[in-house]
Amino acid sequence: MIQPKQPRDKQVRPSSFRGPFLHPLTMTVVILIVTGLILGLGFMSLKRLDKTLKDFMVSRGLDTLATVEKVAQENLRSMYQAFRKEEGGKNFVPLSSEAFSPQEALVRSLVDISRAIDMKWQTEGIRDEDLTAIAERENIWLIAVLDRRGEIVYQSRRTEGQESRRSPPVFLSHEDILIDLFNRVGGKPDEIGYIAVRRKDGSGTIITALDDKGLRKWCLRISLDRAIDEVGWGSGMAYLVILDKNGVEIARSGPEDLPPGADPLLVQRIFAEKAPIPTGKGEWKDHPVLEVLAPVDLDEQVVGYARIGLFNDKTNEILRENKNQAIISTVFFILIGVLSIYALYQNQNRHLIKMEEMGRKLRQAERLSALGKLAAGVAHEIRNPLNAISIAVQRIQRQFPPEEEEKKSQFLKIMGILREEIRRLNGIIEEFIVFTRSRKLNFQRQSIVQVLQKITELMAEEAHAKGIQLLTVWNGSQAMVSMDEDKMKQALLNILKNALESITGEGTVTVSVQKNGEQEVRIRIADTGSGLTAEQMEHIFSPEYTTKEKGLGLGLPLAYEIIRGHQGEIHVESRVGEGTVFEIRLPVERGIETADKRTGE
């Protein structure tokens, strides 16, 4: 069965009402604001975390550099010990084991340069210009190549030939290396120290000579190189390169293919401010790298600057994880907000529908109240004059007809129309009076079949006159219902009248009763009339709606109110052109007190 939708069930919001959009809109704005705050705080937290991790990496790199400086200072002090004469004498301070190791590294580096020159001489040949370039690059005062007789063949700079006087002991005594280097610092400014190396084929000697300035630079380089080797550049560091003010490399740790050099302006700031400067993040060998420039202090002066490359993979991974967590949290919060808005919107719509239903009932109650007052006034003001008019019309028709037959026929026709209209007006008044009477029900236990039998016997003659067959089926003949017999009779009579009026010409109306379990009785009134459209089914129980050309159409609304007063239900199923079925469901037992609360005013 299809239960007709009442006006309250139509989920249509009045266009003039804007209530339900207020709270969801406010909620949306609040969620957007809170989401913006969360995103802002999240990005601020990520920036703080990025800065913290960056500061930590920079601090670790600077700590490594400080350790390198400390070890290099010790190496440099040990090397200077080898060159320092005792005060007031010509004797040298005895060398310690710590001082000997850096000296050995210095000698080995200069010997390696001599061996490289010897190999180049053998394979490619050599010129004065080649030696000059090597000397400038390596901070060597002089590089000279001598033949077997000790004569200079090639040299990086012009000399007076004193170097040739130092080379004979190498080939005369058949020594491979002659060192006269570690007694030249601290003496006269023009004193030169040297290392003479015999060529592999014995055909000559290669001399590398250092002045005081060059020797100090070599001591600095060896000290830093050994310090880096001892300290290492630590895990997480890509490279550590130490350069002088002109960008010439002094020492390094790490691969040769480094990123491009630092901005000259930053280098100037390093020497001016004597403070480290992070240059920013970059890429090196497909790895994110954070580079830091920092001054290198030895002997209480800035001797150069360091480029410290720090791998940034773990930092980026931590930031990426935190960023993903922030995004997931924000999306989760937005999702919760959207669901909350949806739930709030649906809840408010339900409340709105209830409010509309309450308003509809209030308006209906007001209309019914107005109808009641109007009916009382109409009954009081119109009914008596209407009865008087009806009596007068009957008397005129009976006592004063015209004598001519032609006029008499016309006279009787007019009098019939007047009496019919008076009867119709009286019916309208009766409908008002019946609909507005007190609805307090007087419940008694009655047989519903006996009530229906009385109604069908009453309507049988009218149905027969219209050519309609009225059938009854009493399957639940013992069904007893607590009801107000007069009101129930009125409700069922109205429904039965409606069924008879829906049939044009011949047709059938079937009235049946059937028990539905022990708690419910079903009454079906089915007709083969014209049927109802979907729109008509929406409004058939509304007092302000009627399809009748005559009357007010209050029969079905009155029946609906009476059935509800008995805590029953009415379901309607209809098809246009095929007929309509009204199904009334009534409880077998229902407390009188409860019913009075629902129906009594």
pLDDT of residue 525: 93
Q: Is 68 helix (H, G, I), strand (E, B) or coil?
A: helix
pLDDT in tens, 48-68: 877 777 778 788 888 888 888
Cα 558 versus chain centre, distance: 55
pLDDT in tens, 543-579: 655 655 544 456 788 888 888 888 889 999 988 888 9
Which range of 22-26, 49-53, 160-164, 482-486 scores highest in mean pLDDT? It is 482-486
DSSP assigned state of 110 = H
161 and 177 Cβ atoms separated by less than 8 Å: no
Q: How many domains does the chain have?
A: 2
Question: Can you spell out the DSSP letters for 279-315?
Answer: EEEEEETTEEEEEEEEEEEETTEEEEEEEEEEE-HHH
165 and 151 Cβ atoms separated by less than 8 Å: no
The CATH number of whichever domain residue 491 belongs to comes to 3.30.565.10
Long-range contacts of 256-260 (CB under 8 A, 24+ apart): 258/284, 258/307, 258/309, 259/284, 259/289, 259/291, 259/309
Task: With a cut of 50, say whether residue 5 has pLDDT above it.
Answer: no
pLDDT of residue 93: 42
CA-to-CA distance for 553 and 498, rounded, in angstroms? Answer: 10
Residue with token string 């299809």:
2
| b/e 2-39 (16+ beta carbons within 10 angstroms → b) | eebeebeeeeeeeeeeeebeeebeebbeebeeeeeeee
Total H helices, total E strands in the chain: 13, 17
Stretch among 184-193, 198-207, 471-480, 557-566 having the lowest mean pLDDT: 184-193
pLDDT in tens, 506-520: 899 999 998 877 788
Which of these three, 158, 189, 218, is where a domain ends? 218
Confidence of residue 159 (pLDDT cuts 50, 70, 90): low
Give the side-chain half-sphere CA count within 13 A for 163.
Answer: 31
Helix 212-231 and helix 22-83, axial crossing angle in degrees, nearest 10: 130
Helix 313-399 and helix 22-83, axial crossing angle in degrees, nearest 10: 180
Q: Is 9 domain-assigned?
A: no
pLDDT of residue 99: 47
Q: Is 483 helix (H, G, I), strand (E, B) or coil?
A: strand
Q: Is 109 domain-assigned?
A: yes
Q: Is 355 domain-assigned?
A: no
The CATH number of whichever domain residue 103 belongs to comes to 3.30.450.20
Confidence of residue 24 (pLDDT cuts 50, 70, 90): low
Q: Is 84 domain-assigned?
A: no
Instruction: Residue 534: give the domain boundaries.
Output: 438-599
Q: Is 464 domain-assigned?
A: yes
Alpha carbon dihedral 154, 155, 161, 163, in 10-degree steps, equals -110
pLDDT of residue 87: 38
362 and 42 Cβ atoms separated by less than 8 Å: no
CA-to-CA distance for 443 and 454, rounded, in angstroms? Answer: 18
Give the side-chain half-sphere CA count within 13 A for 242.
Answer: 29
Which of these three, 164, 196, 218, is where a domain ends? 218
Phi and psi at residue 586, in whole multiples of 5°? -120, 140
Q: Is 451 domain-assigned?
A: yes
pLDDT of residue 92: 41
List, in order, residues 6 or more apart from 268 with CB less than 8 Å away: none
CA-to-CA distance for 531 and 529, rounded, in angstroms? Answer: 6
Q: What is the mean pLDDT of the chain?
A: 76
Confidence of residue 183 (pLDDT cuts 50, 70, 90): low
CA-to-CA distance for 445 and 568, rounded, in angstroms? Answer: 15
Which of these three, 218, 234, 263, is where a domain ends? 218
251 and 109 Cβ atoms separated by less than 8 Å: no
pLDDT in tens, 279-298: 766 666 667 778 888 898 88
Write out the E strands in 108-236: 142-146, 152-155, 177-180, 193-198, 205-210
Stretch among 78-92, 126-140, 210-224, 459-473 having the lowest mean pLDDT: 78-92
pLDDT in tens, 314-368: 766 776 777 777 778 777 877 887 787 778 778 878 888 888 888 887 887 777 6
CA-to-CA distance for 22 and 30, rounded, in angstroms? Answer: 12
| b/e 125-153 (16+ beta carbons within 10 angstroms → b) | ebebebbeebbeebbbbbbbbbbeebebe
- Name the H helices within 17-124: 22-83, 97-123
Confidence of residue 12 (pLDDT cuts 50, 70, 90): very low
Closest CA to 539 of 9, 1, 143: 9
Q: What percent of the chain has pLDDT over 90?
A: 4
CA terminus-to-terminus distance, the chain? 31
Stretch among 381-395, 423-437, 515-529 having the lowest mean pLDDT: 423-437
pLDDT of residue 172: 45
Confidence of residue 384 (pLDDT cuts 50, 70, 90): confident
pLDDT in tens, 81-130: 665 543 344 444 444 444 456 777 788 888 888 888 888 888 888 888 88
Q: Is 144 domain-assigned?
A: yes
Q: Is 453 domain-assigned?
A: yes
CA-to-CA distance for 134 and 211, rounded, in angstroms? Answer: 16
Task: With a cut of 90, say whether residue 246 has pLDDT above it.
Answer: no
pLDDT of residue 174: 57
Q: What is the mean pLDDT of residues 443-471?
A: 87
pLDDT of residue 436: 57
